[in-house]
Amino acid sequence: MRGWLRGAPLGAHCFATPPVFEMSRRLGGKVVHDYVENSLGYLIVSERVRSVLEHLATAPIEYLPLRITDHKGRLHPHAFFIVNVLGHVACADRTRSQYLESSMRPGQFCDLTRLYLDTDRVDARKNIFRLAELPRVILVREDLAEALHQCGSAGGELLPMGSEASL
């Protein structure tokens, strides 16, 4: 499952039967939002978010189905998907961003607290892509972020460029 973190295609054969993810008993709450927080770092979304991405995203994306069980072991009635954004763009502005570079993977970040982009290196037609320097980070252009917000999706957090974060 780690291959998706780099934006490589996994193909439908990886999920011949959708895996079942259990809600954590450690974390409170019984509501499953449109963006599902998880300890694996996957971008898990509802059908509502998938629909917006299918219609508006300008990057190739794999949608890998999964099921979620609640605290009592019951299957959630709605479908959820791991969003695997394919490919990546090397566009971090290293002079303005705050990060630690990986000693094991030169050129890659192992910690990122503030991100700025070199916008000259980003195709203006791309509205979603992975950051090559830290492939688990998926970047969304403002127009796509607004469409995701307008569809009424809940549970996700989109940070403006330059915001402090712990990634």
28 or 61, higher pLDDT: 61
Domain ranges of the chain: 2-85, 88-150
Rounded to an integer, what distance in angstroms lies between the CA atom of residue 139 and that of residue 155? 17
Question: Average pLDDT, stretch 15-30?
Answer: 75
> Which pLDDT value is given to residue 135?
92
For residue range 146-158, list pLDDT tens digits in order.
999 999 888 877 7
For residue range 105-148, list pLDDT tens digits in order.
999 999 999 999 999 999 999 999 999 999 989 999 999 999 99
Q: Enter the pTM of the model.
A: 0.85
Question: Average pLDDT, stretch 60-89?
Answer: 90
